[in-house]
Structure 1
Amino acid sequence: MNQAKLTEYRMLNRHAKKGQIVFAGSSLMEGFPIHELQLTLDLGLDRVIYNRGIGGTTTADLLQSMDACILDLEPSKLFINIGSNDIAAVGMAGGGKAALLANYAAIMEQIQAGLPRCDVFVMAYYPVNAQADFGLAPSEKEALFATRTNANLLEASEAIELLAKRHGFSFINVNEGLTDGDGNLKPEFTVEGIHLWPNAYSVILGNLKKYL
């Protein structure tokens, strides 16, 4: 867990407005350039969006940092995208899926208890592209996509959708327009097949706008 980022967020939270919108998750959320995009896109918002994503975060990490990333801000709306690093680390076979869902359920329960009036939007996982050439060494590419596959991400999304519904949260898929005909993340949208360029986030924000 990035302790320096957590310290930064705790300091920023002292000056943040309560009742706003929060984005929480791992690097795929931290990399969302929401502050710049909302300056150029007409979102029609009367609330501030705070990004509290932290690169490398797993569901277990988020459970240890719920205060800084979510609860202290007392958001009126929360968008959460967490778990892709869990899938990358252990996949969905064996106990991997069970551990992911147990941690995600604990996250949801803390949100329910601490923020009973918050509108929570659980996001589907973004697709990846393990096919295009991004200049990665074969060993690096193999390691990156050993378990972070579109099949595993889809299976995880379907599982957390059921989990979200059981907790009374909204599950949203804002991935429309990100994939090619084979279901892979379009090469022009991604740095190395996983992380996203700003043009991808612009598409995502267009899909997300109706929920903000």
Structure 2
Amino acid sequence: MSKQTTELTNLDPRIKQFQSDIRAKFAVENKSIKKGQIVFVGSSLMEIFPIEKMQKEKKLGLEKIIYNRGIRATTTADLLAHIDLQIFDLKPSKIFINIGSNDIGFNVPENTYLSNYDEIFRQIKEKLPNTEVYALAYYPMNAVYNFGEEKHEHASMFATRSNDDFAKMSEKVAALAQKHNYQFINVNANLADENGNLRPELTFDGVHMLPAGYEIVLKNLMKYL
């Protein structure tokens, strides 16, 4: 399987500028952070996880500091392109990854996406052989509730995303994690309703969660932190 070695070029210029700005911010922060800590990495679903704020305010009792290196609209190819900035520069002792939902949403071919994910794991294994790695299952979504968006916005959001697709890809990510002796974890308990959809009170658009949703995820994550 060949890797997708180039990043997507058809993103909204405003998003690309935001990505550039946040990467510049991370580059500065990485010079002074404490190494050997915990890193959360991924796309917007990780970026908006207020885990750093939660750790400060909730006094989680952890020995390690959590650094969030999520960036919106990130694909597996993007993470490969910036893996030093988002992972290796921090020399973490634990990594929690939630990446690939944009690959699915942007119609990146499955073999390319999985090859990229495999390469991410391979590089981590090579450069950080003693680091614990946890790949997260994809969160459930809610494509049936009306969140106030325009019909075309709703159609665009869910045209290439579904809970079934995410469940199937989660299984394949789990297999990749097992291949590299990493852990695959499902921290989605209590996020979905009786029909398997993300509970509407936990999301503002059916995909991205509100802090209340991340409170649940954090509770489910604690035993791994």
Equivalent residue, structure 1, for 2:150: 137
AA in 1 matched with 2:97: I
- CA RMSD between the two structures: 1.0
Q: Deviations over 1:45-96 (max 9, x none)?
A: 01100000001100000000001100010000000000000011117xxxx2
Per the TM alignment, residue 107 of structure 1 is displaced from its structure 2 partner at its CA by: 0.6
Is residue 192 of structure 1 aligned with residue 205 of structure 2?
Answer: yes
Decide which moves more: 108-117 or 33-42.
33-42
1:108-123 counterparts in 2 under 5 A? 108-123=121-136
CA distance in 2, matches of 1:80, 1:155: 17
CA distance in 2, matches of 1:184, 1:118: 34
Matched residue of 1:204: which SS?
helix
CA distance in 2, matches of 1:17, 1:35: 14
8 A Cα contact 2:55 2:66, kept in partner: no
Q: Which segments of 5 or more consecutive residues in structure 1 lack a partner in the other structure?
A: none
CA distance in 1, matches of 2:57, 2:25: 26
AA in 2 matched with 1:104: Y
Pick aligned residue for 1:78 from 46, 71, 95: 95
Report the TM-score when normalising by structure 1.
0.96
Per the TM alignment, residue 39 of structure 1 is displaced from its structure 2 partner at its CA by: 3.0
Q: Which segments of 5 or more consecutive residues in structure 2 lack a partner in the other structure?
A: 1-15
Report the count of equivalent residues: 208
Matched residue of 2:96: which SS?
strand
1:89-104 counterparts in 2 under 5 A? 89-90=106-107, 96-104=109-117
Per the TM alignment, residue 189 of structure 1 is displaced from its structure 2 partner at its CA by: 0.5
Per the TM alignment, residue 36 of structure 1 is displaced from its structure 2 partner at its CA by: 1.9
Per the TM alignment, residue 38 of structure 1 is displaced from its structure 2 partner at its CA by: 1.8
Pick aligned residue for 1:149 from 162, 173, 176: 162
